[in-house]
Amino acid sequence: MRRLLIIALTCGGLLWAQSAGAPSKPDSGRAPITIRFKPLPRELLQQRLSLIRKTSPERQFVLEGLLSTSGCGIKRLEVKDHEPNVVCSLAGSSEKVIVLGAHYDHATKGDGAVDNWSGSALLPSIYDSMKDLKLRHTIVFVGFSAEEKGLLGSKAYVTSLAPDERRKISAMVNLDTLGLSSTKVWSNRASPLLVNSLAAVAQALKLPLEPINVDAKGASADSEPFFTADIPAITIHSVTMDTWNILHTSRDTLEQVKLNDYYETYRLITGYLIFLDQLLDAEPVPGGAGPS
């Protein structure tokens, strides 16, 4: 039996998180935000992790299969000299969009289980967890290609957007390197509103969250091309200074993924997307453009 998760947050809760411990008066002018979803069984997440493949074309094939089997119709976006980005979406009632991305390629050494099959294998599970909800934003799921070659897939994605398409993106949430430890957020290269919202959701769901910035290690992530294009963006990860040296080595195998941490990260991200969908501006299109 799956547990139904129902949490009501008020705007006051968010303000509380923003002011780091100083409770403020709830904003009575705004309806509470409700986070309500059925978490998938952890065995399903584990099974999807176990479908890891060695090469990028094989990973693309598996990711497309998982997403399309769940009902997310695949489109491919060309990335020059590399596999395409894998794109599919869940329609909302407004023109606004939230992009959820994770790269599916990996570095030459190791299996790339943590970096980043952990993130890409979560896309179909988050789709499954949200597909029966009435959403305001269209959620666009993107498996990025060629991140390890210099963010080529995410750069191609942002470049492909017309100016009005960029303006429709309320947020870009990037998943990279999950399950090494409890959930971490790269907070100094992210929109403050997105970071504060994630902290508020973690607090409401009683799930751990810590800010760990990895740019000092020379890292970059697929949120960066969005961030530099003035699209609010955030990267969620699980790397600590102790586990950093696992990445891009032969130690990056499935055994490194701690299933308990990974499952908590999945629940936090799903709750977070449901929260952002209600928090961020998205006026319904008159006549209704989305699903009924």
Please name the helix (run of DSSP H) or strand (run of DSSP E) that holds residue 57, with its range, or none: helix 56-70
Question: Which of residues 89 and 220 has its CB atom nearest to Zn ion in the complex?
Answer: 220
- Nearest distance from residue 200's CB to Zn ion, in Å? 26
Nearest residue (CB) to Zn ion, 116 versus 138: 116
* C-alpha distance across the termini of the chain, in Å: 27
Burial class of residue 245, CB neighbours in 10 A (0-12, 13-18, 19+): exposed
Residue 60 or residue 116: which is nearer to Zn ion going by CB? 116
Nearer to Zn ion, 95 or 176 (CB): 176
Residue 6: CB minimum distance to Zn ion, A: 33
The DSSP-derived string for 10-42 is: -HHHHHHHHTTT------TTSPPEEEEE-PPPH
Question: Closest CB to Zn ion among 153 and 271?
Answer: 153
Measured from the CB atom, the residue of 135 and 175 that comes closer to Zn ion is 175
Tell the smallest beta-carbon distance from residue 153 to Zn ion (Å): 11
State the residue for tokens 């584990």. Answer: 46
| Closest CB to Zn ion among residues 180, 268 | 180
CB of 217 to Zn ion, least distance (A): 12
Helix (H, G, I), strand (E, B) or coil at 234: strand
Q: For residue 79, what are its two tokens?
A: 């990335």
Smallest gap, in angstroms, from Cβ of residue 89 to Zn ion?
23
8 DSSP β-pair partners: 34
User: Residue 116 has which token pair?
Assistant: 């980043």
Number of H helices, E strands in the chain: 10, 10
Inter-residue contact 117 to 48 (CB < 8 Å): no
What single DSSP character describes residue 190?
A: S
Q: What share of the chain is helix, strand, coil (3-state, %, to 5)?
A: 40, 20, 40
Q: How far is the CB of 292 from Zn ion (least distance, A)?
A: 38
Shortest Cβ 252–Zn ion spacing (Å): 10
Cβ pair 269, 198 in contact under 8 A: no
Q: Which residues bind Zn ion (CB under 5 A)?
A: 115-116, 176
